[in-house]
Chains A and B, each alone.
Chain A
Amino acid sequence: MAKNKSVSLPDFIKQIESKLKNVDVVPKPSNEGRVLSIGDGIVRASGLSNAGFGEEVEFDDKTRGLVFNLDEDETSIILLSESQEIIEGSRVKTTGKLLGVTVSDSLLGRVIDPLQAPLDAKNLVTSRGKFYPLEKIAPGVILRQPVDTPLKTGIKAIDSMIPIGRGQRELIIGDRNTGKTAIAVDTIINQKKRDLNLPQVICIYCAIGQKRGNIARTIAKFDAAGAMEYSIVVAASSSDTPALQYLAPFTATAIGEYFMDQGRDVLIIYDDLSKHAWAYRQISLLLRRPAGREAYPGDIFYLHSRLLERSARLSSKNGGGSITSFPIIETQADDISAYIPTNVISITDGQIYLKTDLFNAGTRPAVDAGLSVSRVGGAAQTKSMKQVAGPLRIDLAQFRSLAAFAQFGSDLDPETQKQLDRGRRVAEVLKQPQYTPYDEISEIISIYAATSGALDDLPVDKIALFEEKVHDFIKVKNKKLVEKLASGQKLDDKTLAELKDEVEKFKKTIK
């Protein structure tokens, strides 16, 4: 029907009639079964001979379930919600539908559970939108292109030494209370800035098996920082069923794929995949699947690899969208050689390793520069950042090794003392308080000041004060220089000299 064209009432009635005629109401055969046993959220049912793996089923009381095991005589189903009404002999029927979510832009700013039920006391309109199955085959090689656009975290230590590109999978790994979630939250907050004039990143925070209080606190931080307008939270807390915890990352990914297919850039935080593995282990043991190492089922690697493989950067022909993912893994006693950590390390394109010792020594973020790596992000780093941050990793590594020897208290030669002094300043510059992401220009100024030796004569305890004000000083005073730094191009000697000069000038005001 053309817009603004009036239609007579009889014609309008005819249009409705023809639409109704096109509605296919021929009954489709359904497949039924009977519950044989139920316990721990697992139902074994007979019948259902035509059920498919991953198909949604429905019980008499409208409770939904997911087909998880298909045996010769029976089917194992995981319940997606708790029910008191399912008993032995209850009827269960197939729906012919794969479990999925109906996604539209209206999900932005919302907090939902893995089955798309709202958790933020607002109504959710899900009838309009596009259906995305939770399980989907990852984009093939032909559909992809290499990572070439940076995803700025706003954290100096990461953007300089472990740069991340859009479409990359970067693991955040460390013991409890080492600042893993803090890095993820800061990265989401930093997307508000749209640093380097890059397109907006849609952020999806997927909380798995966390305490409800912690989830609420994280959401409050997003709200306070104005990050919810471009974010979605998918939450399955520790009190939710293992089935929901298992599904949460798949829901987050399915939502992300909707935005990626529209050519937009998406960031998904899986917080955390250790608890996801626990939930899957629980389900698998209840389903009596054979247990392997640490009682995890044999396909635990495939579970995470097929999930993370869905993070990709699509080629321009296919819209150019991307999904960047930050899976989080919690280690026990800094042991990164345990089963799940090694699995996820080998799946991802790098890892940010957070160390308890560094955290307790006041280095925050507690990034271990030696063990952290970004395998593909280097290609996405701007030339100016690459140039400035080049000596950073070496300076820091030399400092850490020399600092260990210097503890013995023997006399040090002037060259070693100089290296130690430089290292202390570099380490100090890389400290950054939470919820204060830096833009690229500020990061370049700080890092260049440290690596060029401009801060060598400034007391270490004054560096925080210096950093607090130097960015605004240069941004206000020398706009031309700021423009050059923001261009992302390699900085010539003149520009570097100019930058050093400005830093020196400001340093005098501190002294």
Chain B
Amino acid sequence: MVNPNIKKLAKLTAHGVNVDPDVASFVLGKLGRRELLAYLRHLKAINNRRTVRVLSQEPISEVQKRNIIKRFSDKEVLFVQEKIGDGIKIQINDTIIDYSMHSYIDTTINRLKE
């Protein structure tokens, strides 16, 4: 199957809330390894566009969580614990807004250098 068709298939798979069982069996039964990899990539890209990942080292308070969810009301918000130091990182598809202390220090140093 050529790349545009795999992309179409991925779109079709992610169309509803749940995956259609016919589509799932077709994908698992008919696609080769290379096609599956491409299919997975497209599927992940679609999923990423719908999801906002909030990374932090420490657990975020419920109040803060509610505030963040409110800001991204049209997307699914996932809170992930990861070793990023103090602060948080927000990942929206392939865009990253880095509010970590590490990034703050780096930015300050770079700006002062300029």
A contact residues vs B (CB 8 Å cutoff): 20, 23-25, 27-33, 36, 46-50, 73, 93, 127
Q: Are A50 and B95 in contact (CB under 8 A)?
A: yes
Q: Could you show 7 A-B contacts with beta carbons less than 8 Å apart?
A: A25-B111, A27-B97, A29-B95, A30-B96, A46-B45, A49-B93, A73-B42
Determine the distance from Cα of A93 to Cα of B108 in the docked complex, in whole angstroms: 19
Q: Are A25 and B41 in contact (CB under 8 A)?
A: no
Residues of A within 8 Å of B41, CB to CB, are: 36, 46, 73
Q: Are A47 and B94 in contact (CB under 8 A)?
A: yes
Q: Are B94 and A32 in contact (CB under 8 A)?
A: yes
Nearest CB to that of A24 among chain B residues? B111
Secondary structure of the B side of the interface? helix
B contact residues vs A (CB 8 Å cutoff): 3, 7, 41-42, 45, 91, 93-99, 103-104, 107-108, 111-113
Residues of B within 8 Å of A33, CB to CB, are: 94
Residues of A within 8 Å of B97, CB to CB, are: 27, 29
Q: Are A29 and B94 in contact (CB under 8 A)?
A: no
Distance in Å: Cβ of A126 to nearest Cβ of chain B: 11
Residues of B within 8 Å of A50, CB to CB, are: 94-95
Determine the distance from Cα of A29 to Cα of B90 in the docked complex, in whole angstroms: 9
Determine the distance from Cα of A20 to Cα of B80 in the docked complex, in whole angstroms: 33
Q: Are A48 and B103 in contact (CB under 8 A)?
A: no
Determine the distance from Cα of A47 to Cα of B45 in the docked complex, in whole angstroms: 8
Residues of A within 8 Å of B113, CB to CB, are: 127
Determine the distance from Cα of A11 to Cα of B93 in the docked complex, in whole angstroms: 47
Nearest CB to that of B90 among chain A residues? A29
Q: Are A27 and B98 in contact (CB under 8 A)?
A: yes
Determine the distance from Cα of A392 to Cα of B26 in the docked complex, in whole angstroms: 83
Most buried by B among A30, A33, A93: A30
Nearest CB to that of B105 among chain A residues? A25
Distance in Å: Cβ of A412 to nearest Cβ of chain B: 76
Distance in Å: Cβ of B2 to nearest Cβ of chain A: 13
Nearest CB to that of B107 among chain A residues? A25
Determine the distance from Cα of A93 to Cα of B99 in the docked complex, in whole angstroms: 16
Distance in Å: Cβ of A111 to nearest Cβ of chain B: 25
Besides the known contacts A31-B94, A33-B94, A36-B41, 12 further A-B residue pairs in the complex with CB atoms under 8 A apart: A23-B111, A27-B98, A27-B107, A28-B107, A29-B97, A30-B95, A30-B98, A31-B95, A47-B93, A48-B94, A50-B95, A73-B7
Q: Are B94 and A27 in contact (CB under 8 A)?
A: no
The 5 A-B residue pairs with the shortest CB-CB distance in the complex, in nearest-first order: A47-B94, A23-B111, A25-B107, A25-B108, A29-B97
Nearest CB to that of B41 among chain A residues? A46
Determine the distance from Cα of A23 to Cα of B112 in the docked complex, in whole angstroms: 7
Q: Are A27 and B93 in contact (CB under 8 A)?
A: no
Q: Are A23 and B95 in contact (CB under 8 A)?
A: no
Instruction: Knowing A25-B107, A73-B7, say if A49 contacts B98 (CB, 8 Å).
Output: no
Residues of B within 8 Å of A49, CB to CB, are: 93-95
Q: Are B104 and A27 in contact (CB under 8 A)?
A: yes
Determine the distance from Cα of A304 to Cα of B50 in the docked complex, in whole angstroms: 44
Determine the distance from Cα of A23 to Cα of B110 in the docked complex, in whole angstroms: 10
Determine the distance from Cα of A376 to Cα of B108 in the docked complex, in whole angstroms: 52
Distance in Å: Cβ of A33 to nearest Cβ of chain B: 6
Distance in Å: Cβ of A135 to nearest Cβ of chain B: 22
Q: Are B96 and A32 in contact (CB under 8 A)?
A: yes
Contact of B104 among A25, A29, A36, A73 (CB under 8 A): A25
Residues of A within 8 Å of B94, CB to CB, are: 31-33, 47-50
Determine the distance from Cα of A24 to Cα of B98 in the docked complex, in whole angstroms: 15
